[in-house]
Structure 1
Amino acid sequence: MTDASGAANALEAVTATGTGDAAPTPPAIEIRVVDDRAYVYDAQACVYLRSQHRLVGVMVGSLPGYRSQDVARGLPLELSPEEATLCIERGWATMAFERDCETDAFRAYRADVTANAVPSTSEMVKVGQKRPAAKLDSRGWGGGGGGGKKTKPKENLHGWQKIVGSSFVNIPLANATDGDGKGAWSFPSNMKERERYAVFKDLHDRQYSLTSGAKFGSDYLVYPGDPILYHAHYTVRIVSWEATLHPLVIAATTRMAHAARKNFVIAAVREVKDDNAKDDASVTCEVRYFTMEADVDLSSNRGF
């Protein structure tokens, strides 16, 4: 993992290449897959993917120096399934799969920890049974505070208070075996995912930058350049070639995009298969785009 100074140096190195210098040497980018999510932990790799390949992703890590963790985030960078698949397909990065937590080794370790914790639990129960008796002895026969032997302060402690100072849990941040798990990247695995990847790949090949368009009721936001420097020009919604769209859905989505100063685009996808081929590997997706424009003047004049 690269610290903040490493990220700044990487940004300066990449920015310098925009003035006509030669392209920077691509770093060895490793994508770590955890629970079917793709993460990049190196700052220089994140800058390189964004500046050279227009892959934005989302920062999901916390920054210790910021009090409001929802305003700015740091490493790792989470790539969308489409971005991670494009990286592997184009040879820009390699994937390392983390080991599954529900393995036999983990279960054996959990059983061992549970077995060692049983004596501590039984000791806590015994201490809890002694507390009522010790409390009665301290009261005496007159209901006052004297008359009996004084209990030691340790006898009045709760069980969890006695073991706080003696309990220690070791949680390592990184292990030598991280990244050596066996796995396979399954995206895209169905028709819907193939349609999404086909649209993403086609728009990326047209030199656009893409981010999630969930907040505008679409699948993607399309930028002519880096999202920091440019405003999104299009909101793209993916539909199957045979799908039926209700006019109210089209009108609502089109007006929403118009209110945000964007153009609403419908990406219609259909699979094209070679008749001479016998396997599914030859199936390709054809994408066609339709731009919808809100007739605001007409709707305003009619009062709806």
Structure 2
Amino acid sequence: MDFKDYYQIMGLAPDASLAEIKRTYKKLARKYHPDVSKEPDAEVRFKEVGEAYAVLKDPEKRAAYDKYGKNWESGQSSPPPDWDSGFEYRGGQTGGQSGGQNQEDYSDFFESMFGDRFGQEFGSNQSGQQRRPNNNRGEDSHAKVTIELEDAYNGAARSITLQSPEVDQQGRVVNKQRTLKIKIPKGVKQGQKIRLSGQGSPGFNGGKAGDLYLELAFNSHAIYRVVQHDVYLDLPITPWEAALGATVKVPTPAGSVDLKIAPGTKTGQKLRLKSRGIPAKTPGDLYVVTQIVLPAADTDEAKALYKKMHDELDFNPRKALGV
């Protein structure tokens, strides 16, 4: 899946105003409309222009697209998992008519960026259900923020900076920033949402402000992987620990523990430390995945030991293959 340069598709500069975008879209839509155009690639170009317009005319989609585009690297097949972290949005609707085309005509690139993040109706609640307008109540806002795995074990207080797009007097999108202090509850999991009451959009004519929903994601960790409330760790062990058995120290986000390695343990074997995962109401588990690591044969003594094993052990790991 290739990155799509929507500005290039429409022949626009990255700082084009909203008025310029609308004028250009009308011109290109007339030029490439399949019912009237004589261009050989009219239908394809019409769809590309419609998709580009659906993004560039919307301040939130455009700001998100610009943020990703600045960090895009050739060869990427999809946006990085946390590319949209810290970006505040108020929902949106990608279905129906937008820029003259249906949602199912949008490219995989569009869907990978906007299909989930911007697929909600304005004013949706935490479960995604449509909420009826409540007099002058402000809209709810949404944002994704990243936290450390240790925050889920211990709870934490954090300052986060969110940016949201606005259209200035010249019709150009600018990002406005705000900083909030939040509390991370102990036991949160990937994708969980927390609600900050009254931190959404301001109400109208004295109406109540909307709420802000923060979707939590974990920063990549040097040694742990997280699945729901479970945590995974690849544990290097020596050949003699695997063959003879041993008790080894194992790190966990809550502190190190002693783990018994059974004789004959193989690479890829999964050992469970019950309730050592994220400490939710029902705690997760920590799974240790064994990885046998061979010592380097970088000295005469090490080479001699390997030669002795070769000579004295009747061992053929390919025996089951018939060779």
User: Common fold, TM-score beyond 0.5?
Assistant: no
Q: Answer 1 or 2: which has greater helix percent.
A: 1
Q: Answer 1 or 2: which has greater strand percent.
A: 2
TM range (shorter): under 0.3
TM-score for both structures, normalised by structure 2:
0.25
